[in-house]
C-alpha cells in the first residue's frame, strides 16, 4: 500500500517536472524575441509548480491562458510599433524624393566654385525644344541661386584659371590671352564649358526683369539679357541673373561696356529666321557695367562759346571779303570813267 502511494507520488512529480520542462521550452522559445518580454523560465516553473497536482492538459491550459493575455497586449503594441516604423520610413522616403530633382540629382553631390558640373550630369546640353524645360525647374533655380550668392572674387579667379587652361590647349595659344575668343571656343566644345565659370565682355540688348517662379533657393526675380561679344558677331549669349547693376537701362536699347562673370548652364534653343539656333546660357555671378560719363555743364558751355566765336569770326570774314570785293569793283569803275573823261575828243 505504501509502495503504491510512493509510486503515485513519483508519477505526479515526474508529471509535474515534464510539464515544467515542456512549458519552459515553449517560453524559452518566445523569450528569444526581446520585443515581447515573455515569461522567464523561473516564472514558468513557479506557475507550473503551483499546479503540480493538475494534469498536463490543465497545466497547458493555464500556461496558454497566461500567454494569450500577454500576447494580445504585446501583439497590439507590436502592431503599433510596426505601423509607426512604416510611417517613418515612408516619410523619410518622401522627404528624400522631394529633395531630389526630377533628374535624380541629389543636392549633396559635391560641387565647388571651380565646377558645378556634378549638378548638371543629367541636364541635356542641347534640346530641340525651345526655351527652358519644366522638368529642369529645380536645377535651374539651384544653379542660379548658387551663382548669384557665390563669392565674386573666388568665381573670377576660378574663371580666369579655367579660361587660361582652355587658351593654352587651343590653337589661339600664340595670341595674347586677352584676345582668346571665348564664345567661339565654347560654341565648338560646349561640353567642356558646362558648369564651368567664365568671363565674357561685350554689349547687352533686350534686358528684361520678371518675377521668379516658385523655388527653394532664394531667387525672387529673374533678370535676363542677351550679350554680344566681339567674337560672337550676331550670335547672343543668354545672361540670367537675380539683379542688374543700379541705373542700368531696361529695354531693347544697347548697353555698352558690360562684363559678365558666371557659370555656363547649357545651350539654349531659340528660333531665328525660321531655324533653330543655340545660345550659351550664362548664369551670372557678377555683372560689371561702366555707364557713360555724364557731360560736364562747364565743358558744354565752353564748347558752345568756341562754336559761337568761330561762327561769328567766319561770318565777319565773309562780310569783310564781300565789302572789299565791292570796294575794288567800284574803284575800278571810277578809274575807267575818269580815264574816259580825260581823253581828248576826236577832231573832225
Q: With 70 as the cut, is the pLDDT of residue 18 above it? A: no
- Higher local confidence (pLDDT), 67 or 213: 213
CA nearest 43: which of 59, 20, 61? 20
* Contact of 284 with 197, CB cutoff 8 Å: no
For the ranges 7-21, 134-148, 327-341, the lowest mean pLDDT is seen at 7-21
The C-alpha atoms of residue 289 and residue 320 are separated, in whole angstroms, by 53
DSSP three-state, residue 133:
coil
* Averaged pLDDT for residues 219-230: 96
Q: With 70 as the cut, is the pLDDT of residue 205 above it? A: yes
Q: List the chain domain ranges.
A: 2-96, 117-289
Beta strands in 172-316 (DSSP E): 197-211, 221-228, 237-241, 255-272, 275-289
> Backbone phi, then psi, for 266, in 5-degree steps?
-170, -175
* Contact of 141 with 212, CB cutoff 8 Å: yes
Q: With 90 as the cut, is the pLDDT of residue 112 above it? A: yes
* Averaged pLDDT for residues 90-94: 54
* Averaged pLDDT for residues 167-177: 94
The C-alpha atoms of residue 310 and residue 295 are separated, in whole angstroms, by 22
Which residue do the cell numbers 515569461 mark?
Answer: 39
DSSP 115: B
Q: How many CB atoms lie within 10 A of CB 164?
A: 12
Give the pLDDT of residue 171: 94
Q: pLDDT band at 262, cuts 50/70/90?
A: very high
Q: With 50 as the cut, is the pLDDT of residue 346 above it? A: yes
Q: Which residues contact 243 (CB under 8 A, 6 or more apart)?
A: 148, 221, 223
Give the pLDDT of residue 201: 97
The C-alpha atoms of residue 226 and residue 183 are separated, in whole angstroms, by 13
- Higher local confidence (pLDDT), 62 or 211: 211
Amino acid at each position: 500500500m505504501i509502495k503504491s502511494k510512493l509510486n503515485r507520488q513519483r508519477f505526479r512529480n515526474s508529471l509535474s517536472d515534464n510539464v515544467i520542462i515542456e512549458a519552459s521550452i515553449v517560453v524559452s522559445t518566445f523569450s528569444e524575441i526581446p520585443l515581447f518580454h515573455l515569461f522567464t523560465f523561473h516564472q514558468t516553473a513557479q506557475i507550473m509548480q503551483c499546479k503540480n497536482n493538475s494534469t498536463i492538459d490543465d497545466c497547458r491550459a493555464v500556461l496558454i491562458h497566461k500567454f494569450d493575455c500577454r500576447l494580445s497586449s504585446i501583439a497590439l503594441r507590436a502592431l503599433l510599433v510596426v505601423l509607426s516604423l512604416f510611417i517613418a520610413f515612408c516619410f523619410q522616403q518622401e522627404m528624400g524624393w522631394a529633395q531630389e530633382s526630377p533628374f535624380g540629382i541629389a543636392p549633396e553631390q559635391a560641387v565647388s566654385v571651380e565646377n558645378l558640373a556634378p549638378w548638371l550630369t543629367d541636364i541635356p546640353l542641347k534640346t530641340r525644344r525651345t526655351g527652358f524645360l519644366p522638368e529642369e525647374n529645380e536645377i535651374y533655380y539651384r544653379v542660379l541661386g548658387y551663382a548669384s550668392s557665390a563669392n565674386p572674387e573666388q568665381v573670377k579667379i576660378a574663371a580666369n584659371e579655367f579660361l587660361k587652361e582652355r587658351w593654352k590647349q587651343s590653337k589661339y595659344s600664340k595670341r595674347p590671352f586677352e584676345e582668346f575668343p571665348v564664345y567661339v571656343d565654347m560654341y565648338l566644345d560646349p561640353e567642356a564649358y558646362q558648369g564651368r565659370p567664365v568671363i565674357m565682355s561685350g554689349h547687352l540688348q533686350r534686358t528684361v526683369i520678371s518675377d521668379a517662379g516658385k523655388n527653394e533657393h532664394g531667387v525672387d526675380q529673374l533678370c535676363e539679357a542677351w550679350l554680344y561679344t566681339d567674337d560672337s558677331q550676331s550670335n547672343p549669349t543668354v545672361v540670367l541673373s537675380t539683379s542688374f547693376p543700379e541705373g542700368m537701362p531696361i529695354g531693347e536699347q544697347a548697353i555698352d561696356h558690360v562684363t559678365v562673370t558666371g557659370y555656363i548652364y547649357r545651350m539654349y534653343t531659340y528660333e531665328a529666321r525660321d531655324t533653330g539656333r543655340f545660345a550659351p546660357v550664362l548664369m551670372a555671378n557678377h555683372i560689371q557695367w561702366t555707364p557713360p560719363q555724364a557731360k560736364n555743364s562747364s565743358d558744354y558751355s565752353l564748347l558752345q562759346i568756341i562754336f559761337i566765336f568761330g561762327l561769328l569770326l567766319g561770318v565777319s570774314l565773309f562780310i569783310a571779303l564781300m565789302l572789299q570785293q565791292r570796294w575794288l569793283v567800284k574803284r575800278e569803275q571810277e578809274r575807267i570813267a575818269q580815264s574816259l573823261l580825260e581823253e581828248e575828243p576826236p577832231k573832225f
